[in-house]
Amino acid sequence: MAGNGAGRFEGRVAVVTGASSGLGRAVAQSLRDGGARVFGVGRDEARLRAALEGGETGWLAADLTDPGAAAEVMRACTERFGGIDILVNAAGAHTMRHTAEVSDEEWQYDLAVNLSAPFFLSRAALPHLLERGGCIVNVASIAGLEGQAYSAGYCAAKHGLIGLTRAMALEFDSSAIRINAVCPGGMTTPLLENFAFPADPDYTLIMKTASARGLMDPAQVSNVITFLCSEEASAVHGAVYTVDNGKMSL
């Protein structure tokens, strides 16, 4: 595989979830620009089409909270491109709620989007990735490394996703596959632009999650993810990269 720039991912097939906007879109476009054939997954087909136009791409509109969607994604991708080399689990959702008011359905949704979907997709992709020596990058969050107020379901799921990453990395330590995670801090994405706080929040608690350096552009996190997908990261396996403008170290 070539180094940085065009051709870096020539001949590789990448599945990217959450590809219609935000970080997932930035990752999908970066992989595409590096020569990968990118198969994007999201809820809105029109937005996927707009995000992935140009290059050799494909897409599927799917609800990843449905456990059966993962197999359909892999089937559609392999029919389009013949295999899979890279899986980036970038789709996610975060809604702040007072913990005592979280409904059963809201709790299950938080886990389904942020933890179960990456598991089902990874499980479905494993036969292809093991055969081709591919990689998985799970997009967790600094909420997977610390507590965050009004975010019980999100924190639980992201902590779980880091655990899943490490467990799978250990299980496949003797295989050619590489499995890593990235933990972003706050980014300027549509998720943040449409963010709603719970009623009567304590903003001093909410601000504990913020970096003094401010919000990041999704491209700054995408750069780390695409590095982990590349041959430059051939010795990186079972790692959890924090990309948060220094928040966790301050």
Give start and end residues of each alpha helix (H) in 82-201.
Answer: 104-111, 117-132, 152-171, 190-193
Give the whole-angstrom CA distance, residue 34 versus residue 1.
10
Give the whole-angstrom CA distance, residue 167 versus residue 187.
28
Give the whole-angstrom CA distance, residue 229 versus residue 180.
9
Catalytic residue, chosen from 109, 154, 203, 241, is 154
109 is a catalytic site residue: no
What backbone torsions phi and psi does residue 186 show, to the nearest 5 degrees? Answer: -70, 135
Closest CA to 122 of 71, 197, 157, 59: 71
Q: Which residues contact 100 (CB under 8 A, 6 or more apart)?
A: none
Bridge-based pairing state of the strands 178-184 and 240-243 = parallel
Give the whole-angstrom CA distance, residue 200 versus residue 221.
32
Instruction: Supply the residues annotated as catalytic.
Output: 154
